[in-house]
A = this chain, B = another copy of it.
Amino acid sequence: MAELAALNERSETTMKISELARLAGSNAETIRYYEREGLLPKASRSESNYRIYSVAHLERLTFIRHCRNLDMTLGEIRTLLRFKASPEENCGEVNRLLDDHIEHVVRRIGELQELERQLRDLRGCCPDGRQAAACGILEGLSQPLLEKASGNHVPGVHESFASNTGKS
């Protein structure tokens, strides 16, 4: 009964913020943030000042979350949204943006593989637990500075532990 009612509501064309969040695998605060940032248009409001969303909003938010899951920046996403909004234009720039972003990812993979190599080298300097004074790892880290050639934007190793789960 309650389920049926909920189902009916779900098949309606409007919803409030937390249902939109659930359907888009996002969360309410992120949606308000996107609105502030101009990625989502201002929602219409109910009498009690609640944001009211339509399927169009859901589609746009889904697009954005999809892009974020591919580690694009909000800037990159803004560009893509502009093309979505002007369907008569040539999409060559979309392709270019995607090629660039693929390169961002590929480059970052290369950097991290080099990092892994260096870290395994370092780890090999102290196979057993000994006194810290004799630890090859601590010694190795005191040594020279290896170059870090990073010109990238794909996020870090320590980054998204508690975030990006979709729900809040």
Which positions in A face B, CB cutoff 8 Å?
A: 24-25, 59, 62-63, 65-67, 69-71, 73, 76, 80, 83-84, 86-92, 94-95, 98-99, 101-102, 104-109, 112-113, 115-116, 118-120, 122-123, 126, 129-135, 137-138, 141-148, 150-161, 163-164, 166
Complex contact A126–B86 (CB within 8 A): no
Whether A112 lies near B119 (C-beta < 8 A) is no
- Whole-angstrom distance between the alpha carbons of A112 and B67 in the complex? 14
Copies in the complex: 2
Residues of B within 8 A of A131 (CB): 87-91
Looking at the complex, which one of B88, B130, B134, B151 makes contact with A161 (CB distance below 8 Å)? B151
Which of B25, B65, B95, B130 is the one whose CB lies under 8 Å from A91? B130
Contact present for A118 and B156 (CB under 8 Å): no
Contact indicator B70/A118 (Cβ below 8 Å) = yes
Question: What 6 A-B pairs come out closest when comparing CB atoms?
Answer: A153-B158, A154-B157, A155-B156, A87-B133, A92-B129, A91-B135
Q: Is the CB of B67 within 8 A of A126?
A: no
A104 B157 Cβ-Cβ under 8 A: yes
Interface contact B105-A112, CB-CB below 8 Å: yes
Which of these, B90, B98, B99, B156, contacts A156 with CB under 8 Å? Answer: B156
Contacts of A24 in B (CB 8 A): 145
Q: List 19 A-B contacts (CB under 8 A).
A: A24-B145, A63-B141, A66-B145, A69-B146, A70-B122, A76-B158, A83-B138, A84-B138, A87-B131, A91-B131, A94-B137, A95-B129, A95-B137, A105-B112, A152-B161, A153-B156, A153-B158, A153-B159, A153-B160
